[in-house]
Structure 1
């Protein structure tokens, strides 16, 4: 099932008139079509849930990769600080210390490695954020599908009750 806005719409009778008695015209919603839509929603719920599960697995891998990159980045910064201690003026704030480390890395011909690690670290953070957003979107989609399914179940229960009343059971 392609998950889009049309996929969630329930077919209705366009000729239904709310001003006329329901007994004199075709149903506004065909119960068979509603039941079929409920099955579509069930399948969509499984599909969305599986996407969330796969995204969670991906997120675990991405977080591990991010931690590994951050560790390498921190080690390079520590090595620079150990080999080339900053002057007192450059230790007054984190921004000054970051600028000192950037400058020192380039002065010591480590600039390419330093920049590559910074870029790799940012790319890993961006990937984690994108996956977290995908998981959140998936959860919202699953909630929507579940809610729509509950509404259809309620409609079908009322419809079944009406049929039973007409039959006298």
Structure 2
């Protein structure tokens, strides 16, 4: 049997979660506390239509700090994905980094977690898991550590300061053409 042809790398939209996809109320861990950022679902759908991969990269130190469990986080992410699907959108993958230098949960304590932003581990893992063209990709974050992770991964980073995410990207000419 001949080998499968290699997939052509495509650009990816990397999104931080809290503060970019949802309002950051501090350690959001349940659907009851989740509130979409205006325009976030529309952004995901626009990048889907344009053929980009959409990947969430989120630190989630609340798991390591013992505020909620990974199961709680996965349940929230499942609800996010269901809600996105209802809006005609999807994410290709969600990467999380529960590790933290001061984690109360021993299994998550690490002095410099390679996946925790500003380290680029989550982005680099996604680039290993999917054929991604880093040079054409985009990371949207709400903290300088998000942009540093993007820089270290060879991805353009954009700092989002709040408001309507779709309008923000549109005003900067960063929405892809379908």
Q: What TM-score comes out, normalization by structure 1 length?
A: 0.21
Q: Which has the higher helix share?
A: 1
- More strand by percentage: 2
